[in-house]
Amino acid sequence: MIGIVIGVLGRLVVPGRQRIGVLWTIAVGIVAALLGSATAAGFGVADTDGPDWIEWFVQIALAALGVAAVDRGRTRH
């Protein structure tokens, strides 16, 4: 579930139209969620007393980069 949310939010951050499908968006979101959690844990900001805003920001930023990279890679073919 979190992969869908992170993928969609990452896709919303990227300007313009992306030519990738829903499954690619979900896949990018899952990978970004996992990498974002690991990165946040590495910096010690994964577990806070309230909402983990920094962890979410890292995950969404990684998803945006992933969506842009997949879109760019798919449009070259």
What pLDDT score was predicted for residue 75? Answer: 64
Angle at 25 between CA 23 and CA 26, to 5 degrees: 65
| Global confidence as pTM | 0.88
Per-residue pLDDT of the chain (77 residues; tens, 9 = 90+): 888 999 999 999 999 888 899 999 999 999 999 999 999 999 988 777 888 889 999 999 999 999 999 998 876 65
Gap between the Cα atoms of 20 and 58, Å rounded: 22
Decide: 59 and 11 in contact? Cβ < 8 Å: no
- Two tokens at 61? 């930023």
Decide: 70 and 22 in contact? Cβ < 8 Å: no
